[in-house]
Each structure stands twice: as C-alpha cells, then as structure tokens.
C-alpha cells in the first residue's frame, strides 16, 4: 500500500451486497484486509510482485495552462493527483512548447493561458504515481487555485524510465 509501504492480504471484496473474487477499475468496491491498517482516500493498493509506482515530491510534467493568470516559478497551487491533494510549488519552467513549430522554447518567465510547457514542481507530501504514458489515471494531475478552488491547469507526469504497465488501484 502506498504511500505507507504497509503490506497485507485482501480477504474479502464486496460490491453492494455481492461477494466478488476480483475487482478492477473503475468498480466501486469495499475491501477487507487481513490486518488492521488505516487506508485513506488517495492511498494506492499495489501487488507485491509487480513494479511499484514512483513515490516522490519532485515531479517533472507537461502542463497545459487554463487560466488567464499566468503560471510563474515559485507560485503555489493545490496539486490533485488521483484523489490525493497536496500543496505544490513550481520550481522551474523548463521550456514552453511552440504550438506552431513544435520547437522547445527554453528561458520563458511565465506560462500563459493555453500554453503547453514542461515544468518541475515540488509537493508538500510525496505522491505515488506512474508515468502518464503508462497509466493516465495515476500519471495525471490538475492544478487548483487555493484561493478560488478553480481548476487552472492540467499536467501529465513524466519519468525518465518507462516500466512495464502494472496494476495500481486507487482508493
């Protein structure tokens, strides 16, 4: 289980009143574990014998900015990934993608509405994630304005290495 790293065995899976032998996303199910472990919204169940999602606070991602107020380095936003939220700060704008020529434009000071860019962020808590190319659910984030609660951007998490696709189940 991530991010805690605790291990257990699933003893029962139920959907409404029906007992199941297995469940897959996007089913809403209740699980019972062999151990008394506190599972919270946003925690991820992962099979032991499969590659584990990354757990980091520093993430590089491609972002599309939706807001009329530009994204700046050192700006703070709420970062929502799956059902987990964390305060995040923009560490750097690595480059902006020129949508006409597809060239990378390094050295930009801000990202304006409808711009696409690669940025690096730091989150207050570690996030358990996969590369977006492997898992669109655990590999995506949205940016929320902490003052207005508006969704102001969306991002796709990038990692240096791509692992074989595996099954992560978000609680």
Q: Are 23 and 128 in contact (CB under 8 A)?
A: no
At 77, is the secondary structure helix, strand, or coil?
Answer: strand
Q: Are strands 76-81 and 84-97 parallel, antiparallel or unpaired?
A: antiparallel
Share above pLDDT 70 across residues of the chain, in percent, rounded to a whole number = 93
C-alpha 164/C-alpha 48 separation (Å) is 14
Q: Are 141 and 154 in contact (CB under 8 A)?
A: yes
C-alpha 152/C-alpha 169 separation (Å) is 26
Residue among 54, 56, 60 nearest 117 (CA): 60
pLDDT tens sequence across 84-109: 999 999 999 999 999 999 999 999 99
- Check whether 39 has a pLDDT greater than 60: yes
Q: Report angle CA 41, 166, 24 to the nearest 5 degrees.
A: 55
Q: Residue 79's beta-bridge partner residues?
A: 86, 143
pTM: 0.81
C-alpha 98/C-alpha 116 separation (Å) is 8
pLDDT of residue 164: 47
pLDDT tens sequence across 5-34: 788 888 999 998 899 998 887 888 888 889
pLDDT tens sequence across 136-145: 999 999 999 9
């Amino acid at each position: 289980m991530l991010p805690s790293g605790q291990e257990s065995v699933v003893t029962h899976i139920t959907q409404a009143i029906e007992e199941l032998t297995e469940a897959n996303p996007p089913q809403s199910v209740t699980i019972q574990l062999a151990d008394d472990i506190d599972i919270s919204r946003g925690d991820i169940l992962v099979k032991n014998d499969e590659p584990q999602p990354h757990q980091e606070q520093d993430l590089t991602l491609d972002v599309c900015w939706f807001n009329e107020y530009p994204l700046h380095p050192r700006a703070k936003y709420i970062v929502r990934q799956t059902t987990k939220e964390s305060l995040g700060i923009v560490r750097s704008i690595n480059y902006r993608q020129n949508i006409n020529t597809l060239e990378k434009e390094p050295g930009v000071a801000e990202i304006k509405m409808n711009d696409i860019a690669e940025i690096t962020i730091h989150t207050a808590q570690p996030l358990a994630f996969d590369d977006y190319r492997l898992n669109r659910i655990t590999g995506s984030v949205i940016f929320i304005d902490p003052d207005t609660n508006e969704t102001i951007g969306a991002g796709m998490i990038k990692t240096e290495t791509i692992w074989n696709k595996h099954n992560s189940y978000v609680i």
